[in-house]
Chain A
Amino acid sequence: MATLPAEVLARRSARRRRREAIVTHVCLIIGVLIFAFPIYLAVIGSTHSASTIGRGDVPLLPGPDAVANYAQAWGTGGGRFMGVPAGGMLINSLVMATLIAAGKIAISLTSAYAIAFFRFPLRMVFFWLIFITLMLPVEVRIIPTFQVMVSLGMTNSMQGLVVPLIASATATLLFRQFFLTIPDEYVEAAKIDGAGPLRFFVDILLPLSRTNIAALFVILFIYGWNQYLWPLLIVNDRSLETIVVGLTKMIGSGDSQNEWNVIMATAMLAMLPPVGVVLLMQRWFVKGLTETEK
């Protein structure tokens, strides 16, 4: 086999590399489009009138009715029988998601602190009791948990939406893991300076945990916002409706005469806060996700 000059080889491999890069770009662009297209279509749907969509002339370019549709979705809601304004539902979702995230973080921080920095009887028993709740997702025990809620009179209330969901084995594990990496010298120094355990917790541990708390908050906020089965069961007072459940109630059996324009506008409003959180806090989000699940 004749040897080719180095120049020719170099040019060839450069060409091959460029070709590979193009293939990579094409694959990724197709992937991105597959994820973006349903959203694009929802945006388009939210800018046309109900009759345009109902006729089935699905347009591919924005229409003139965006302002009217979003105003209706926000202020009065859609659906032929009972409209619930998206504004109120968004506030409910925001309150629920924030309280769930904050509650999970608060009680997990304190319980991880107790387990990592104290010695007391039954320590490991409590740790395992928290740990095994990993194996009991809310969906699995949904009906008996609902019965407990009924006996406690907690249905149809914001506490009912939030409190049962704030126990968190994953957050406790994550904080415990992190606390174990904090050197003993910190504790010794605190003791020498006469700082008690609560002072140590507030002045040293919390500031050190800042990034972990932020990362976890992003994940848990989205977890709370996207709850479905639980609010569907617990709440039938429509003033407590969350946006995700309220949205699917607008659809009913998926009739083509639905006000699809308002439904799509509501869908956009329902997606905006969690997607915004992911995009704005991407770094923390990825950190939180990959660390909590391991």
Chain B
Amino acid sequence: MRRTFFRGVGLPYLLLAPQLLVTAVFFFWPAGQAVYQSFLREDAFGLSSEFVGLENFIDVLSDRDWRGAAARTAFFSISVAALALSAALFLAVQADKHIRGAGAYRTLLIWPYAVAPAIAAVLWLFMVHPSIGLFGRALNAMGVPWDYKLNGDQAMLVVILASAWKQVSYNFIFFLAGLQGIPRPVLEAAAIDGAGPVRRFWTVVFPLLSPTAFFLLVVNLVYACFDTFGVIHALTQGGPGKSTETLIYRVYTDGVTNLNLGSSAAQSVILMILVIGLTVVQFRFVERKVHY
């Protein structure tokens, strides 16, 4: 703990001012605005608005379409997280071994981090497009009726794959750092006690990695809920029908296209509560529960 400080009261406030100003204007004002608007309803002409209590929330939560989007978001997020985490863990375990060219493999697995979600979507679109994509055409040629623009399940599959593809390298970096932090003597002791590689992984390595894994699980869920907007917007625009419309996509369409501000604000508030919940869970559990 620091004992020596600089004197002065004006200067620290001045140093903090830019950060606080941006935070106040672009974080707290809009967040407060969202909460405020979520209790109001505008008339059809946008001329006046009245206080409606929790009505917007009740409307949103009982809306069949919104519930559909919520269920879809849950399925989508869990799929993306499961896929991206398991692939990354597998690759990290391989890349952590003492083999020739380990450094080169690491580099080649790290770079997709820099690819924007929307660009990942464009790359995948070019592969799975039913008439110009390599795989899309191949599937159709094999007699599989493939068109992600018409078939909702296929559309979901493509956005999951593209989103997970982009996230693997992030998880890989953290898993690899976690693996490298495991003390060698622990592994050697297990090996001397006769534990094979698979046993060693599940009884020694995996428990030691669990804080990393849990942290990554939360990060991946947040990524899948929000950052994948670009993937969905570029690939399917939420379609066909509503089959790839996630909650954040719905906020966007309700707020921008349908201009239903009260409802959009209520949805934003629900999403804020979701993120706050996830963040709190992350900070509480990373500290305590998940440990060895």
Chain A residues near B (Cβ < 8 Å): 20-21, 24-25, 27-28, 31-32, 34-39, 41-42, 45, 53-54, 56, 58, 60, 106-108, 110-111, 113-121, 123, 126, 129-130, 133-137, 139-148, 152, 163-164, 166-168, 172, 180, 184, 187-188, 191, 196-198, 200, 222, 225-226, 228-229, 232-233, 244-245, 247-248, 251, 253-254, 256, 260, 263-264, 267, 270-271, 274-275, 277-279, 282, 285-286, 289-290, 293-294
Contacts and interface: CB of A to CB of B under 8 A. Distances in A.
B203 interface: no
A131 B128 CA distance: 42
Given A56-B132, A143-B264, A270 B119 contact: yes
Given A28-B95, A143-B251, A290 B19 contact: no
Contacts of A39: 123
B143 interface: no
Contact of A166 (B5, B22, B33, B34): B22
14 contacts: A24-B99, A25-B99, A27-B90, A31-B105, A35-B108, A114-B16, A129-B23, A141-B34, A142-B268, A144-B268, A167-B27, A256-B131, A278-B111, A289-B173
A199 B248 CA distance: 46
B23 A130 contact: yes
A133 B58 CA distance: 27
Interface string B99-115: 10100010111111111
B206 interface: no
B23 A133 contact: yes
B29 A267 contact: no
Given A31-B91, A244-B230, A248-B233, A267 B111 contact: no
Interface of B: 2-6, 8-9, 11-13, 15-16, 18-20, 22-23, 25-31, 33-34, 37, 87, 90-91, 94-95, 97, 99, 101, 105, 107-127, 129, 131-134, 137, 149, 165, 168-170, 173-174, 177, 197, 215, 219, 222, 226-227, 229-230, 233-235, 237, 248, 251-252, 255-256, 261, 264-265, 268, 271-272, 275-276, 279
Please report whether the interface of chain A is mostly helix, strand, loop or mixed according to DSSP: helix
Nearest to B138: A58
Contacts, number: 288
Contacts of B117: 226, 228
Interface centre among B113, B132, B233 (most CB of A within 10 A): B132
Contacts of B229: 139, 228-229
A95 B188 CA distance: 51
A188 B169 contact: no
Given A56-B131, A114-B15, A126-B20, A119 B119 contact: no
Nearest to B5: A119
A188 B233 contact: no
Contacts of B91: 27-28, 31
B118 A110 contact: no
Contacts of B109: 28, 31-32, 35
A115 to B, nearest CB: 7
Contacts of A180: 2
A142 B255 contact: yes
Given A120-B13, A126-B20, A135 B276 contact: yes
Given A144-B265, A197-B11, A228-B229, A222 B114 contact: yes
B26 A145 contact: yes
Contact of A148 (B30, B126, B219, B251): B30
Nearest to A152: B25
Contacts of A196: 6
A191 B4 contact: yes
Nearest to A291: B177
Contacts of A279: 107, 111
A251 to B, nearest CB: 7
